[in-house]
Structure 1
Amino acid sequence: MNKITRRQALGTTAGALTVLGLAGATAYAADTDSRAAISAGNAGPAGTARTAGTAGTIDEVYQGRRIQITPATGGAHHGGHHSAGLPAVRIDGRELHVMQNADGTWISVVNHYETFSDPLSLARAAVRELQGAALVPMGGM
């Protein structure tokens, strides 16, 4: 009968804890980077105009579309369907449904198979993908 030794059990446990620690550190770093991007100054790529707002708020025009990102408020998101803590992302006043993956990357219903490092780059990619089409609400099809 094969029995696991104490040394093997401790080695396996140490390896698992190391992986969990690295995953947590990576998620924390990605979250910190995305928060920094949300609260960044008025600099943006060519074709953008950003208006300074309250701390952590982004209001810019990108390729002729208005992107507004407000930080999470702590209340329920999307009428209570999802957990709190997600920023509100709007394109031309219509909410873009965003989700944060376990690794700290972001996806949306417009770019569901492509991940982004922060909500602003996600919103800009959604504007490019929409190609001038209006953003349709989640239940509006």
Structure 2
Amino acid sequence: MDTITRRQALGTTAGALTALGLAGVTAHAAATDSRAAATTSAGPVDEVYQGRRIRISTEGGGHHGGHHSPGLPTVRIDGRELHVMRNADGTWISVVNHYETFADPASLARAAVRELQGAQLAPFAPMGGTA
């Protein structure tokens, strides 16, 4: 009897789907790691996007809660600092767009310009601080 049972077919299908899922997770992790490495090695940015000046400096690190944070870039839109944070997976978020992640500070700054719709950035005041 060389026929395959329903149980064997389901087991084989489940095993194949599990292997495909693991391969996808591994590929995503590798892409995230290479993207994070590319982000940290990026140089300074000075561009005009939708009429707004975006400047990103990697020298000296950004400010986080009024304290110097080595490794964080300083992102400025029209001379005003945009508070940025790096997630554990290497993506970036900002106070302007806190629920969407971005691959690098430059794409994050461009999204902030779009979200601001011409409004100026307000000074960031950490909790317990003053504006």
Same fold (TM > 0.5): yes
Aligned partners of 1:94, 1:129: CA distance in 2, in Å?
Answer: 15
Residues paired across the two proteins, number: 100
- Alignment correspondent of 1:120: 106
| Alpha-carbon contact 1:105-1:116 (below 8 Å) kept | yes
State the Cα distance separating 1:57 from its structure 2 match: 1.3
Question: Match for 2:35: what amino acid?
Answer: A
Gaps of 5+ in 1: 1-21, 39-55
| Alpha-carbon contact 1:68-1:91 (below 8 Å) kept | yes
| Alpha-carbon contact 1:27-1:102 (below 8 Å) kept | no
| Alpha-carbon contact 2:83-2:94 (below 8 Å) kept | yes
Q: Aligned pair 1:98/2:84, yes or no? A: yes
Q: TM-score, length-normalised on structure 1? A: 0.62
Aligned partners of 1:26, 1:102: CA distance in 2, in Å?
Answer: 14
Aligned partners of 1:85, 1:72: CA distance in 2, in Å?
Answer: 9
CA-atom RMSD in angstroms: 2.5
Question: Match for 2:107: what amino acid?
Answer: S
Aligned residues with identical type, % of pairs: 65
| Alpha-carbon contact 1:96-1:109 (below 8 Å) kept | yes
Gaps of 5+ in 2: 1-25
Aligned partners of 2:32, 2:89: CA distance in 1, in Å?
Answer: 5
Q: TM-score, length-normalised on structure 2? A: 0.66
Q: Select the structure of larger CA radius of gyration.
A: 2
Q: Aligned pair 1:30/2:60, yes or no? A: no
